[in-house]
């Protein structure tokens, strides 16, 4: 998933992709991303995708994400 700001409408959107080679987010500015494919979490979390996502969310530097958002000029 890519959370990005779209300058064409001035809004933040979440973009989902089913494959790495599909779903490009052209013209938008990424604010943060998360890789939810099994290869990203299986070694550490087994099939527990929910625990992986929670761990990522708990470790995101939200101040950095907010700073990135402020930089793009809303």
Spell out a b/e string for 40-64, using b for 16 or more CB atoms within 10 Å of the CB, else e: ebeeebeeeeeebbeeeeeeeeeee
Distance CA 39, CA 51 (A): 14
What is the reported pTM? 0.79
In degrees rounded to 5, what are phi and psi of residue 42? Answer: -60, -40
- Residue-wise pLDDT for 49-68, tens only, equals 999 999 999 999 999 999 99
Would you place residue 73 in the very low, low, confident or very high pLDDT band (cuts 50, 70, 90)?
low
All structural domains of the chain with their residue ranges: 2-71
pLDDT given for residue 72 in this prediction: 87
What number does CATH give the domain 2-71? 3.55.40.20
Which helix or strand (DSSP H or E) is residue 33 part of?
Answer: strand 29-33
Choose between 73 and 28: higher pLDDT: 28
SS3 49: helix
pLDDT in tens, 4-48: 999 999 999 998 877 766 667 788 999 999 998 889 999 999 999
């Amino acid at each position: 998933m890519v959370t990005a700001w779209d300058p064409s409408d001035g809004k933040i959107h979440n973009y989902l992709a089913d494959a790495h080679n599909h779903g490009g987010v052209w013209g938008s500015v990424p604010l943060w991303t998360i890789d939810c494919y099994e290869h990203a979490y299986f070694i550490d979390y087994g099939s527990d995708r929910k625990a992986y996502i929670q761990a990522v969310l708990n470790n995101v530097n939200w101040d950095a994400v907010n700073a990135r958002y402020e930089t793009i000029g809303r």
